C-alpha cells in the first residue's frame, strides 16, 4: 500500500484538483435554461470553459468546430495526468484511453481521403488532441488510400489494424471495417495496459472501473448495430470491444440475438438489468447507461484512492460532461424546450446530492 501511495499521490492530487473545476448542477441549470445559443455561450464563458471560448467569434465558427473546441480542457487534463504519472505502467493505461480519440481523428482523415474531399473542410471535425499525441498528422493527409495510411502508421498500434482490415474494405467497398479496426486497436491496447499493471490492487481497481465502461460501450454498440444497421448477431459480436468486466462473448451473443427491449434487458447481467428495469424503448438506453457509468465513476472517488482508476475516472467523467454540453448546445440550436433538454442530460449532472 505504501508503494501505491507513493506512486499515485501526486497524480491523485492532480486529478482531484482538475475535477474541482467541473461544472456544478447550478451551472447545468443555467445552461439548460438559457434562452438561446447566445445565452448558452455567454454563461459557459463564466465557467471553467472560459478559456475555450475567449476571443472567439462564436457566430462565425462552425457548430462542429465549437463542439471539438469544448474537448480542449479534456485533452489538457490527459496531458497533465500523463505527465504526473511519469513513465509508469499506469501512464500506459491513460495513453491507451487517449488513443480512442486518435482513432476518431484517423477515421475522419480516412473518410476524407476515400471520399476525395478537401482537407480544409475536414480539419474542423478533428479533436484538438494537443501535445500528447505522437502521430505525424500532417503527413497522413497526403495518403492516396488506406493502404498507404497503414504504411505510414506501421510503428503505431493503428497501422497493423488498418492493414488487417484492408481485405474487408476492398471486398465491401466501404470503410466501416477499417473504422471498427481502429476502435478495436485502441481498446486492445487498453486491455493489455490494464493487464500489465504491476500491483494486483491497481489491476483489480482499473479492471473493475474500465471493465464496466467497456460493458456499457458494448451494449450501446450492439443496440446501434442492431437497430440502425440491421447486422446479424455473429457480425455484431465480431465487432465487440475487449476488456469488459461482466459481459463475456456468450453474453454479448445473447444480447445481439435479442429481438425486443424486454429480451435485451433479460439477457443483461443482473448488475445492469436491475437498474434499467423501467426502460421501454431502444433510445432510452444511452442516457440510462450514461447515468450508470457516472455513478460508477463517482464511487471510485469515495473508495481506496491510490490507483490508476482515480485518474481514469476523472477523465471519463470529464468526457461525459463535455458530451452533455454538446447535447444541450445541439438542443438549443434546434430550439428545444428546456424541459425536453433536461431529459437528455444525466440526472447525476443535475442533482446536488449526486455531485460529490
pLDDT in tens, the chain (356 residues): 656 677 788 999 999 999 999 999 999 999 999 999 999 999 999 999 999 887 777 767 777 888 999 999 999 999 999 999 987 899 999 999 999 999 999 999 999 999 999 898 898 899 999 999 999 898 999 999 999 999 999 999 999 999 999 999 999 999 999 999 999 999 999 999 999 998 898 999 999 999 999 999 999 999 999 988 888 999 999 999 999 999 999 999 999 999 999 999 999 999 898 889 889 999 899 989 999 999 999 999 888 778 899 999 999 999 999 999 999 999 999 999 999 999 889 989 998 545 55
Name the residue range of residue 335's domain: 2-350
CB 262 within 8 A of CB 255: no
Picking from 7, 12, 40, 4, the residue whose alpha carbon sits closest to that of residue 338 is 40
130 found inside a domain: yes
In a domain, 356, yes or no: no
The answer to the question of residue 61 being in a domain is yes
- Whether the Cβ atoms of residue 174 and residue 66 lie closer than 8 Å to each other: no
In a domain, 186, yes or no: yes
In a domain, 355, yes or no: no
Is 26 among the domain residues? yes
Task: State the residue for C-alpha cell 501505491.
Answer: 4
- The reply to whether the predicted model has a pTM over 0.85 is yes
Helices 308-333 and 72-84 meet at what angle, rounded to 10? Answer: 170
Q: Is residue 91 part of a domain?
A: yes
Placement of cell 505527465 in the chain = 83
Tell me whether residue 326 is in a domain: yes
User: In the chain, how many domains are there?
Assistant: 1
Amino acid at each position: 500500500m505504501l508503494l501505491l501511495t507513493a506512486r499515485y499521490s501526486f497524480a491523485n492530487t492532480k486529478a482531484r484538483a482538475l475535477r474541482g473545476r467541473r461544472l456544478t448542477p447550478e451551472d447545468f441549470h443555467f445552461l439548460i435554461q438559457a434562452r438561446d445559443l447566445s445565452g448558452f455561450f455567454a454563461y459557459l464563458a463564466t465557467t471553467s470553459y472560459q478559456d475555450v471560448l475567449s476571443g472567439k467569434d462564436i457566430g462565425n465558427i462552425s457548430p462542429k468546430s465549437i463542439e471539438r473546441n469544448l474537448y480542449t480542457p479534456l485533452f489538457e487534463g490527459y496531458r497533465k495526468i500523463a505527465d504526473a504519472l511519469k513513465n509508469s505502467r499506469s501512464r500506459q493505461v491513460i495513453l491507451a484511453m487517449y488513443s480512442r480519440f486518435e482513432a476518431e481523428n484517423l477515421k475522419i482523415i480516412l473518410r476524407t481521403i476515400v471520399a476525395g474531399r478537401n482537407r480544409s473542410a475536414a480539419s474542423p471535425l478533428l479533436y484538438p488532441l494537443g501535445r500528447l499525441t505522437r502521430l505525424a498528422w500532417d503527413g497522413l493527409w497526403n495518403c492516396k488510400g488506406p493502404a498507404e495510411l497503414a504504411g505510414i502508421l506501421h510503428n503505431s498500434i493503428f497501422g497493423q489494424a488498418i492493414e488487417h482490415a484492408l481485405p474487408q474494405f476492398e471486398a465491401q467497398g466501404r470503410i466501416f471495417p477499417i473504422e471498427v479496426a481502429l476502435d478495436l486497436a485502441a481498446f486492445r491496447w487498453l486491455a493489455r495496459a490494464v493487464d500489465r499493471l504491476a500491483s494486483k490492487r491497481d489491476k483489480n481497481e482499473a479492471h473493475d472501473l474500465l471493465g464496466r465502461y467497456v460493458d456499457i460501450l458494448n451494449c450501446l454498440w450492439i443496440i446501434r448495430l442492431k437497430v440502425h444497421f440491421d447486422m446479424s448477431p455473429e457480425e455484431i459480436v465480431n465487432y465487440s470491444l475487449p476488456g469488459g468486466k461482466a459481459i463475456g462473448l456468450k453474453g454479448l451473443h445473447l444480447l445481439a440475438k435479442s429481438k425486443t427491449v424486454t429480451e435485451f434487458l433479460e439477457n443483461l447481467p443482473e448488475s445492469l438489468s436491475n437498474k434499467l428495469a423501467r426502460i421501454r424503448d431502444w433510445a432510452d438506453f444511452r442516457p440510462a447507461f450514461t447515468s450508470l457509468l457516472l455513478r460508477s465513476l463517482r464511487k471510485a472517488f469515495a473508495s481506496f484512492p491510490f490507483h490508476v482508476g482515480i485518474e481514469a475516472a476523472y477523465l471519463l467523467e470529464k468526457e461525459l460532461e463535455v458530451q452533455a454540453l454538446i447535447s444541450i448546445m445541439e438542443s438549443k440550436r434546434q430550439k428545444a424546450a428546456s424541459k425536453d433538454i433536461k431529459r437528455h442530460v444525466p440526472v447525476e449532472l443535475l442533482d446536488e446530492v449526486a455531485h460529490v
